Structure 1
Amino acid sequence: MMKRIYTFALLAALMLAGCEREEQRSDSPKRMVIDPTMVGMPLPTSRATETDFEQGDAIGLSVTTSGGERYASNARFLFDASQGRFLSADGLLWYEDVNATSTLFACYPYREGDALPASFTVAEDQNGGGYAASDLMTALKSDVRPTASAVGMTFRHRMARLIVNVDNRSGSPVDGIVVRNAVGRGLLDAADDTFRVDPDGAAVAVKARELTADAKYYVLLVPQSVRLEVEVTTAEGPRTYTLGEAELQGGKNHTLNVRILPAEMEVVLEDEITGWEDGDELFPEESLPGGDDGEQEGWLEYGGERYRTATLADGRTWMAENLRYVPQGRSISSDPSDGSGIWYPCDLNRTASPGLVAQNGLLYSYPVLLGLDGDLSAENYNRSEGARGICPEGWHIPTMAEWLRLAGAGSGQLSDPESPYFDQSQAGAPLDALNADGFNLQNCGAINAASATAKAAYLASASAADPTQFGMGYFASSTGYKLFYNTTDDPSSGLKNIQFYAGMTMWNTTYKRLTVAYQGGYGAAAVRCVKDL
């Protein structure tokens, strides 16, 4: 298969068409477009220094077909801020066989060459442009077919970051901070998207980036096990401190607290390892999740994200935020009909909205949220009640009974007289009562598919009580409800739909409540995890 080379004029026309974001005809050449998402920090996306990719940022992309042929090697893609996507700098088109799958690997920042770099080295002076240049991110996606749509790829930070907090009581301002002993080079393996320290690499002395003078500094390092030496220089001269063995993890923050006294210096590397966030987003020290399992009362750390938790009047501890977790190897999609399994939430115009992730979480298909090995089927839909699924260890997808204990009532005359929140006037649980206990449950959009063959689409409606807010929302349960066949009660006619019980929120001029309802299993919903007893 040969890549097609087009003239500059045709390339300009293609890019203009891309700006209009129109679907191409099936018989036209398919442009290769990358829709990036990042993890290792709160969404929306964030690099080490800025809040998003910027106009002209470049990645290198390799494309390897399932037959092992290298279709593209370190192809240069440039970020178009107007679209929020990477476009090929050379007009790279998909190969013609639409049934042939391939594996895509992307690397940021772009490095010149005929192939993606096999190694990556941090800058030794990170107080200038060297900090941003040290921010290695990669993304891997398999089983990709040629498509007129953008390919979603999830970029992950590969460097470990030290956040150096300085408590200076010496009377002399800090002139600079240097971190020594860490190996400065790591080896990059595109085949399995791994990055590890080069065992033959040399130790380096890295000058920290000054974020706030005399207070906060950043250092990007290759992940490794190392005894770091920290040197802090003031007008009185340099002071050094050597730490014990520490395991620096890629895509994670490691907090280093430095206290400078008139006659000595104390340095402590905190045990907590948190997801990658910009320094201004860090929680106060007394609020950080801690403990061996990443939990502290009222907080949970999972997949590089922090979640509030709440113990409600039902006696259970629930996530008080919608799940935003993206498993390794998966990426977030903006097209609810593409079968990717994880999608951005939508706005009231039923359009994908990455900016709503922090508030509404992501939307998950039932196979993904339940942790099924394959597709949903008549044989497996009701075998995952109480499953951990996509939740953290020690937590699980709520069952219908757990949602009903909160709501007290639901469709089909469901009732739980022991619900502590049930309100007869609401025919369910008032959201205000749940949220007063810290549940923070809000309406949001979902994805709906009327049948196994129907095209899935975003589902959203405005509240009649406040047209700027969602009128309803679905929250997944792990309890299957019912199978529906093309001909009623005739399995031989073929499976038409599968329904699951779900928590459903509603807000209109009469109700602002939680009840239990049904959702089609070929759609997608927000996820709240509940802690195991």
Structure 2
Amino acid sequence: MKKTIVLMMALALVSCERERMVQPESDVISFKIGYPVTKATATAFEQGDAVSIYAVEHSAPLQVGGNYLNNEKLTFDGTKWNGARTLYWSDVACDFYAFYPYQPSVGSIEDYSFSVETDQNGDGMEKSDLLYASAQNVSRTDGSVELSFYHMMSKVIVNIEKGEKFEGDIPDDVVAHVYNTVTSCRVDWAKGSVEKNPFGTKNTITMKKISNTRFEAVLVPQNIERSTPLVELTMGGIAYLLETSLSFRPGYVHKLTVKLNTSPDQEQIEISIDPSTGHWN
């Protein structure tokens, strides 16, 4: 009889221990991640996209380490976001911070170094498009963490039109470059802000070719003075230079319409800036 009682007590202890080890599903954090209307080269997050996630107790400062969640990787499977490990709710409300693309190593929160690609063909433009989102005072009772991303960088679009004196079709060999822009910046993940690296060097960016008449690039927000060329279009061995002053603002699209004439003389090029420039949604 004593053996039976001891065995039953042992089974009960094992059962209780298993209940402690299994977390109820409501304790697992789920994420609803909102996508900007446009990403650099797509209109939705795609399978395999990954974001970095941080969480701190509400109102606590975000740090490189020692947070409730530290640079957790969430990957989109085409339907939902999955963590590299299961993430559980804290007993207290938290503030969440997220950025795309996933950064495997973050050495600073207030002064993180990031650079756009100098060749933005292929996946270069996508790698340059830095997105950010945050959600404050979120707890288990909210059901999920909702994160709405926005663009931290600037985007420039160059559209080419034929002027009255341009004969024939625009050739297939058109290449577009952006000159004299600083490609490195400093990011503050806590504030969701970015600024040009004051000690960064100016580089030339090869724009992504969308078509013979449309080119796009992601730039670090900065002011460009008119004293230096901004855009160069090369076609048929002829280079067309665009000089203009622009203030590339974070989260904005800047559209330039360039009218070309047959003559390579810069005075023959008509240039207009699209007044519809606005938020990069």
Q: Same fold (TM over 0.5)?
A: yes
Contact 2:40 2:218 in 1 (8 A): no
Cα distance change of structure 1 residues 28 and 236 upon mapping to structure 2, 3 Å threshold:
closer
Residue 238 (structure 1) aligned with residue 239 (structure 2): yes
Cα contact 1:73–1:114 (8 A) shared by 2: no
Counterpart contact for 1:73–1:115, Cα < 8 Å: no
Alignment partner of 2:200: what SS?
A: coil
DSSP-derived class of the 2:230 partner: strand
Do residues 248 (structure 1) and 248 (structure 2) align?
Answer: yes
Partner of 1:266: 270
The residue aligned with 1:32 is 29
Give the Cα–Cα distance (whole angstroms) in 1 for the partners of residues 279 and 28 of structure 2: 34
- Of residues 90, 101, 105, the one that matches 2:97 is 105
* Matched residue, 1:211: 210
Once the two structures are TM-superposed, the CA of residue 29 in structure 1 deviates from its matched residue by: 6.3
How many residues are treated as equivalent by the alignment? 241
Alignment of 1:158-197 (within 5 A): 158-168=152-162, 169=166, 171=168, 173=171, 174-197=173-196
1:216 Cα offset (Å)? 0.9
Q: In 2 relative to 1, CA 109–242 (structure 1 residues): closer, same or farther, beyond 3 Å?
A: same
Cα distance in 2 between the residues matched to 1:170 and 1:271: 27
Residue equivalent to 1:58:
50
Structure 1 residues 149 and 217, CA, compared in 2 at 3 Å: closer, same or farther?
Answer: same
Question: Identity over the aligned pairs, expressed in percent?
Answer: 27
1:337-379 Cα deviation digits (max 9, x unpaired): xxxxxxxxxxxxxxxxxxxxxxxxxxxxxxxxxxxxxxxxxxx
| Aligned mates of 1:26, 1:212 — CA distance in 2 | 53
Aligned ranges for residues 49-448 of structure 1 at < 5 Å? 49-66=41-58, 67-68=60-61, 70-83=67-80, 86-95=81-90, 97=91, 100-113=92-105, 118-146=112-140, 149-168=143-162, 169=166, 171=168, 173=171, 174-213=173-212, 215-227=213-225, 229-244=230-245, 246-263=246-263, 264=265, 265-276=269-280
The letter of the residue matching 1:49 is: T
**Matched residue SS, 1:131:** helix
1:47 corresponds to 2:58 = no
What do residues 422-453 of structure 1 show as CA deviations (whole Å, max 9, x unaligned)?
xxxxxxxxxxxxxxxxxxxxxxxxxxxxxxxx
Shift of 1:55: 1.4
Q: Within 1, Cα distance between the matches of 2:108 and 2:132?
A: 11
Using the alignment, how far apart are the partners of 2:230 and 2:180 within structure 1? 6
Query: d(CA) in 2 for partners of 1:267 and 1:181?
Result: 19
Which residue matches 1:323?
Answer: none
State the secondary structure of the residue aligned to 2:136. Answer: strand
User: Alpha-carbon deviations, 1:500-533, whole Å to 9, x = none?
Assistant: xxxxxxxxxxxxxxxxxxxxxxxxxxxxxxxxxx
- TM superposition shift of 1:133: 1.0
For 2:177, the aligned partner's letter is: V
In 2: Cα distance, 1:274 partner to 1:124 partner? 24
Give the deviation of 1:148 after TM superposition: 7.7
Closer, same or farther in 2 for the Cα pair 1:254/1:102, shift >3 Å? same
Give 1:144 deviation, angstroms: 1.3
Q: Which structure is richer in relative contact order (CA contacts within 8 A, separation 6 or more)?
A: 2
The CA deviation at 1:76 is 0.5
- Structure 1 position 63, deviation (Å): 0.9
TM-score, normalised by the number of residues in structure 2: 0.78
Contact persistence 2:221–2:249 (CA under 8 A):
yes
Equivalent-residue separation in structure 1 for 2:52 and 2:262 (angstroms)? 49
- Cα separation, 2, equivalents of 1:139 and 1:104: 8
Three-state SS of the structure 2 residue aligned to 1:220 is strand
CA contact (8 A) 1:122 1:185 kept: yes
Contact 1:140–1:153, Cα closer than 8 Å, also in 2: yes
- The corresponding residue for 1:464 is none
Partner deviation per Cα, 1:252-276 (whole Å, 9 max, x = no partner):
2111111121113333333432233
Runs of 4+ in 1 over 4 A off after TM superposition: 25-29, 114-117
The verdict on how the C-alpha distance between 1:223 and 1:144 changes in structure 2, with shifts beyond 3 A counting, is same
Structure 1 unmatched ranges of 5 or more: 1-24, 277-303, 305-533
Query: What corresponds to 2:17 in structure 1?
Result: none
Code of the aligned partner of 2:247: E
In structure 2, C-alpha distance between the alignment counterparts of 1:57 and 1:204, rounded to whole Å: 28
Change (3 A) 1:148 1:272: closer
Q: In 1, Cα distance between the equivalents of 2:261 and 2:125?
A: 28
List runs of 5+ in structure 2 lacking aligned partners. Answer: 1-21
Cα deviation for residue 27 of structure 1 reads: 4.7
Structure 2 CA distance for aligned equivalents of residues 207 and 181 of structure 1: 12
